[in-house]
Amino acid sequence: MAVGNRVCALVDGGAYAELVNAPAAQVIRVPEDLELRDAAAVPEAACTAWSNLVGVAGLTAGMTVLIHGGSGGVGSMAVQIAHALNAFVISTAGGPERCEQVRALGADVVVDHRSESFADAVLEVTDGRGVDVVLDVVGAAYLADNVRALATNGHLVVIGMQKGRRAELDLGVLLTKRASITGTTLRSRPAAEKAAIVDGVRRHVLPLIADGRIRPVVDTVYRFSEARQAHERLAAGGVFGKILLTP
Ligand SMILES: NC(=O)c1ccc[n+]([C@@H]2O[C@H](COP(=O)([O-])OP(=O)(O)OC[C@H]3O[C@@H](n4cnc5c(N)ncnc54)[C@H](OP(=O)(O)O)[C@@H]3O)[C@@H](O)[C@H]2O)c1
């Protein structure tokens, strides 16, 4: 890394700024063909998706994964990473148009969570076997069905609680499947773990971005002065991928 390089970074907070401090180990060089602005959509989404799919759940080629919210900032990156790893990718999104957009990112099957039971769909598509990995951004409302959708020895990784933090679970199902559940947050991880995650993203995800197999999905770019509108838009739903703020 040298002065003048184009970089993006996994920051510890405070990124709504023209200048930001980031530990060197959390800085990533931006591939030549990627616009610096679009690179802002990469670090958090890629680090979250990579660390949970690969680091926590051990996703590899030939495995089957369910990624909730393939239409979101994290999900749109996770679908592309899982597809690039040659996993069989099932995803969820709200509405036919968003499902089609997630399919275009490389998902093999997309379930419209507004009109279908994702667990029923997963079991149908996998001939009753279930998926090896679930990456969940929904939380409590999906806990029981996420476990129902898991295969034997499957791994549910919960990274979001958009639909609640408390739920009831039949532990018998977990025991019978020898399944496991992990919850993680990126932000609370110690610096050494963040450095290791960024290193993994640098070595494994960046080359896929550089050669165009993965692209950060940017819905809209707002000015800092429009931050309020950007947040209102995000809160209203319907954003596909990331919203970015620029000076
Ligand atoms: N633990 C961590 O380290 C970590 C890191 C980053 C983000 N997160 C969390 O992960 C979540 C997603 O972040 P994001 O940046 O991707 O947010 P986002 O861009 O706002 O995306 C939210 C996604 O959730 C989906 N969703 C909402 N309700 C759903 C439902 N009932 N069933 C299936 N999907 C549903 C949406 O799909 P539709 O709009 O298509 O319905 C959308 O794709 C947030 O809760 C965030 O706090 C956690």
Quick check: 58 pLDDT over 90? yes
Amino acid 1: pLDDT: 83
The superfamily (CATH) of domain 45-183 is NAD(P)-binding Rossmann-like Domain (3.40.50.720)
Reported confidence tier of residue 187, pLDDT bands at 50, 70, 90: very high
Enumerate residues lining ligand 1, CB below 6 A: 44, 48, 68-69, 71-75, 92-94, 98, 113, 137-138, 159-160, 162-163, 184-186, 234, 237, 239
Ligand 1 atom index nearest CA of 161: 45
pLDDT in tens, 145-174: 999 999 999 999 999 999 999 999 999 999
In the Cβ-directed half-sphere of 220, how many Cα atoms lie within 13 Å? 15
Long-range contacts of 190-197, Cβ-Cβ distance < 8 Å, separation of 24 or more: 191/23, 191/25, 191/26, 194/10, 194/23, 194/25, 194/26, 194/47, 195/23, 195/25, 195/26, 197/10, 197/47, 197/50, 197/51, 197/55
pLDDT in tens, 71-108: 999 999 999 999 999 999 999 999 999 999 999 999 99
Strand (E) or helix (H) holding 158: strand 150-158
